Structure 1
Amino acid sequence: MTTETTEELTISKTDTHETTAQTAKISHDDDKVIDFKKLESELQNAVEGEARYWRENDAKFRAVHQKVASYDEFRDIVLASHLLPLEKDDRLTNIKFIQPWNTQAQKKQDSGNRETTAEIPKAKDWPTSGQGFVREWRRLNKDTKQQYAYLLQIGGEQLGTIFKTEIGFGLLGEFGNCLNCAFAEQDSNAILCILQHLSTTNRFSLTVQFLSSKEKDYFNSLFRKLSESLKGRDPETDVFKDLLTKYEVKL
């Protein structure tokens, strides 16, 4: 083997060694690369999981404290623990509702295309379901006095039957507004009866929790008026105290 050939082999081996060393170094450096996006995602999931755990845990204690009637009601409270009631300034966009459950957010229709007054249905035409009630309730054209008279005529017992399954359509807040605005002292017993029977409907405690702060103010004001009118009447006072708890009102 010639001297020139020996030198070529030596250079070739040196180049190969340097290439191998560089490759090993790059590979070693790759092992140290940190995927910050992955870490951030894992951290976010851990934070959300922790928040969800404590939120649902609080909802479980709240449901037990309220002494819910069934496991279904207990489960509904836990599943709804992430929801918050709508406030006055909240806005819903790009959402189409089939049922007008949030009537406070409905746009007012042109009054020229609607009747200014509507007759209150007679007893034989009283609704037997929540949907039937809503149709008549809306037909009264947002006339608070007529709606107030309508509630009193139907009475607490019938309303309790109509909404036995649940008080939907955002009606509980509307009832509070109507009864408070048109309140008359001589109707105290009838109003107390209405509030009592509504409180026996299914998922009532959950419905109360979803009242907005403004709707809760309606009931606070209504109960203050009832408190004044029921002074010195022991049987009604006992019922009144029980309703304060169910409607979460503190005078």
Structure 2
Amino acid sequence: MANFNVGPIDLSKLEAQLRLAIEEDEKYKREDAAKFRAIEQSKTYEEFRNIVKASHLKPLDKHESLCPRDMKPASWNIRAGKNLRAPSFERVTSAISTCASDTGQKLDEILGKELGYEKFHELWLLCSEDLEGRLKLLEKAFLVDKIFKGHDLSVDLISEIMGTLNESLNQDLKNSNEAYDFVIKVMMSVCSTPRFSLHMLLLSETERSVIDQLKEKVKVYSVEVSEKGEAPRDDASVSLAFLDCF
């Protein structure tokens, strides 16, 4: 009869093998779920592959940062820095303070000039705490035909635009048809930007919830308009199929 000598079990090695097996199983499930999403959202193989590759990414919270808080800003080009017309920290802080405290005359003065996408994004950041200012900025932006066309909007910008629209509809329970038509027009423009479907995968649960609230309000509005037999005021409210992109 064969004699088997069983040595002591290496618990640390066994634990490492177990962790590796769990990680591989989680990776398989995560990528498998991403593939199903990618089939519905991607139009090319490259988009499909990017969605699957990004399945492990998790969005940063708005209060998180990739840089330590005590890290001082560094100049990447010291020699050329003095020749650039970049605003100083004091000027930027002053501009933000001005926009937050006096959104009326100051913002109207700025919006009276020609507005392109770069200027829009700059002003959007300056008015981070000003709902009325951001609404005025969006209204001015959409006087320019297809201002977002061809521009890859960041996840933060998409989330902030949707949050602004959602908050605007919260201000008054009986919003006008014009208000809803404007919201729909902005949403249609945003969802047609490059890599929009990929950016939607990187939203946090809170940001996702805000967009779901906005979608529900638009759907309710559409049903009410249909029941009243009212004709849509512009092309923005003809079809709400674009909501499936969000």
TM-score, scaled relative to structure 2 = 0.66
The answer on 1:239 being equivalent to 2:239 is: yes
Q: Which deviations, in whole Å up to 9, do the C-alpha atoms of 1:55-85 show, x marking residues without a partner? A: 111211211022x122222122111212334
Runs of at least 4 residues off by over 4 Å: 85-88, 109-113, 234-238
The change in CA–CA distance for 1:72 and 1:220 in structure 2 (over 3 A counts) is same
Alignment partners' CA distance in 2, 1:227 and 1:57: 31
Q: Match of 2:157?
A: 171
Task: Note closer, same or farther for the CA distance 1:174–1:73 as it changes in structure 2 (3 Å cut).
Answer: same
2:210 aligned partner:
218
Corresponding position: 1:48 with 2:47:
no
Q: For the structure 1 residues 55 and 213, does the alpha-carbon distance in structure 2 shift closer, same or farther, using more than 3 Å as the test?
A: closer
Match status 1:78 vs 2:70 = no
* Equivalent pair of 1:159/1:194 in contact (CA under 8 Å): no
Structure 1 residue 209: Cα displacement: 2.8
The C-alpha deviation readout for 1:195-245, integer Å capped at 9, x for no partner, is 1111111221222233333333433333344345441346655522x1221
TM alignment of 1:178-189, pairs within 5 A:
178-183=164-169, 184-185=175-176, 186-189=178-181
Contact 1:87/1:212 (8 A) holds in 2: yes
Aligned counterpart in structure 2 of residue 58 of structure 1, from 21, 27, 33: 33
The residue number in structure 1 matching 2:188 is 196
Q: What SS does the corresponding residue of 2:148 show, helix, strand or coil?
A: helix
Q: The residue matched to 2:154 in structure 1 has which SS?
A: coil
Gaps of 5+ in 2: 74-91, 170-174
Larger Rg: 1
Match of 2:139 in 1: 152
Which residue number in structure 2 is paired with residue 102 of structure 1? none
Q: Per-residue CA shift, 1:28-51, capped at 9, x if unaligned?
A: 97x834433223212221221122
1:137 is matched with: 124
2:96 and 2:127 in contact (8 A); partners too:
no
8 Å contact kept, 1:180–1:222: yes
Equivalent residue number for residue 87 of structure 2:
none
- Partners in 2 of 1:57 and 1:228 — Cα distance? 34
1:205 alignment partner AA: S
Aligned length: 201
Q: Judge conservation of contact 1:152–1:191 (CA < 8 Å) in 2.
A: no
Superposition CA RMSD, Å? 3.5
